[in-house]
Structure 1
Amino acid sequence: MPPDTISVVIADDHPAIQLAVKSTLTEIPTVQIAAMCASGGELFAAVEAHRPDLIVTDFTMGRSEGNDDGLRLIQRLRQSGPDTPIVVFTMLTNGGLLTRIQESGVAGIVGKDEEPAILRQICMDAVSGNGLRLSPGISARMASAGAMAGGGISPLSPKEIEVVRMFAAGSPLTEIAGYLHRTLATVATQKRSAMRKLNITSNADLVTYARDNGLT
């Protein structure tokens, strides 16, 4: 059963999305927005300060010193507050990456292009502890990925996905290594491994793959 008052922290690096999520959730009488954040660093500070009943966060936000996003963000949130449900509100279309997010222990995943009522319902289900909930759009994308030739969800490991995602966003390998706390040799090996699995031979094709599969 959800608490009488539901404290929510919202994180997205686009102010318009923050306001849209706030407007959507405050239609629930028991919801109180404790904080709205634009980065991973702001999100962790807000979670520490408010200890919310629910976190609603984007997956891809600006990365800089002290600001995680992506799978690292979710992992750190889960470690710092394993009992706090997380709903990921995202434009991601890549079924493989969505599956990785599902496996990370979040309570729900909702597409930003879906009806506000869907976000409200999944957030309430998350607070009520009703198990993992996927919006219809997210479920369809993941089902489509599962139906690909060979039936595999994604040929890439979570670590390879993070490297490809950051590389396609324009980060050099040295920056990726520092951000992920891996050696440069490890990151270079993971990039080569990803390209080999995808049968890609050029950096330009790797960037195109990332863009076409919703990794950027």
Structure 2
Amino acid sequence: MDSKIRIILADDHAAVREGISAWLQCDPRVEVVATAGDTECLADLIGRFPCDIVISDIGMRCIDGKSNAIAFLRSFLGQPERARLIVVTMIAQPQMLAGLLELGADGLLDKRDCIESLNEAMAAVIRGECFVSKHVEALLKSHAGNKPGRAGVLSAREWEVFQLYAAGKSLIGIAEHLGRSVKTIGTQRRNAMRKLGLETETQLLNYLRQIGLS
């Protein structure tokens, strides 16, 4: 490629954005044309700045109160002409990672991988290849083949329940706080776990920790 690789970078942690941006711009072939701290800003920037690759976290606040950026990224990936998408995340749930690939993500990196993996990912997706980092590959290998990917998005109410649960409230406490029945709260929590491919309490607690709620 003769022209520079144009990047839009999105992450809700300023230190991550600035660190990745500084690293990318050490490469004279790369230009970071814009950075975003949430999904609404990312959507706006994609509409205004032509780019070749979007590098995005998925744990960012979404546009309409939903739990993460996946709803927007699903819409983005469905566009006939779009930039390549590399997801960089702390989430280590195999079903969610498998679901992102099923949606059409071009690259998946775990934030625990070395930053050089990002250069490898960019080179691969520009060639039209799919890239998964070493940590992601190991997680995907642990994914049972008969289980579907689960790149789910929680509704605003399900996300509210997760936030209160992460804050230490019991189902009874959440029901009292929100003015709903315990049965409703329990159903919303189960539905949320199913959407994210979480099957056990341990997996739920790990997920909450990975997205910074616990």
What TM-score do the two structures reach when normalised by structure 2?
Answer: 0.73
Deviation sequence 1:29-48 (CA, Å, 0-9, x none): 11111101001111011111
Structure 2 CA distance for partners of 1:144 and 1:5, relative to 1, 3 Å:
same
Paired residues of 2:66 and 2:154 also in contact (CA < 8 A): no
Q: Distance in 1 between matches of 2:198 and 2:113?
A: 30
In the alignment, what sits opposite 1:77?
76
1:5, distance to aligned residue in structure 2 (A): 1.1
In the alignment, what sits opposite 1:139?
137
In the alignment, what sits opposite 1:30?
29
Q: SS at 1:141's partner residue?
A: helix
In the alignment, what sits opposite 1:110?
109
Q: SS at 2:6's partner residue?
A: strand
The residue identity in structure 2 corresponding to 1:121 is E
Q: SS at 1:62's partner residue?
A: coil
Identify unmatched segments of 5+ residues in structure 1.
174-186
In the alignment, what sits opposite 2:54?
55
Q: Distance in 2 between matches of 1:41 and 1:195?
A: 25
Structure 2 CA distance for partners of 1:26 and 1:81, relative to 1, 3 Å:
farther
Please give the residue correspondences for 1:1-216 in structure 2 after superposition, counting only pairs within 5 Å.
2=1, 4-63=3-62, 65=64, 69-80=68-79, 82-130=81-129, 132-146=130-144, 151-153=145-147, 158-159=151-152, 162=154, 166=159, 167-170=161-164, 191-192=189-190, 205=201, 209-213=203-207, 216=211
1:83, distance to aligned residue in structure 2 (A): 2.9
Structure 2 CA distance for partners of 1:72 and 1:212, relative to 1, 3 Å:
same
Paired residues of 1:87 and 1:110 also in contact (CA < 8 A): yes
Deviation sequence 1:78-135 (CA, Å, 0-9, x none): 23564310000100110011111111101100111111111111012112212x1100
Decide which moves more: 70-79 or 17-26: 70-79
Q: SS at 1:33's partner residue?
A: strand
1:24, distance to aligned residue in structure 2 (A): 2.1
In the alignment, what sits opposite 1:181?
none
Q: When the two structures are aligned, how many residues end up with a matched partner?
A: 190
Identify unmatched segments of 5+ residues in structure 2.
166-173, 176-184
Q: Distance in 2 between matches of 1:54 and 1:141?
A: 24
Q: Distance in 2 between matches of 1:195 and 1:136?
A: 26
1:195, distance to aligned residue in structure 2 (A): 6.6
Q: Distance in 2 between matches of 1:168 and 1:5?
A: 42
1:69, distance to aligned residue in structure 2 (A): 3.0
1:77, distance to aligned residue in structure 2 (A): 1.8
Q: Distance in 2 between matches of 1:67 and 1:3?
A: 40
Q: Distance in 2 between matches of 1:9 and 1:120?
A: 15
The residue identity in structure 1 corresponding to 2:137 is S
Q: SS at 1:115's partner residue?
A: coil
Paired residues of 1:6 and 1:30 also in contact (CA < 8 A): yes
Q: Distance in 2 between matches of 1:28 and 1:81?
A: 29
Structure 2 CA distance for partners of 1:165 and 1:59, relative to 1, 3 Å:
farther
Q: SS at 1:83's partner residue?
A: coil
**Aligned-pair identity (%):** 20
Paired residues of 1:110 and 1:134 also in contact (CA < 8 A): yes
Structure 2 CA distance for partners of 1:32 and 1:165, relative to 1, 3 Å:
farther
The residue identity in structure 1 corresponding to 2:133 is S
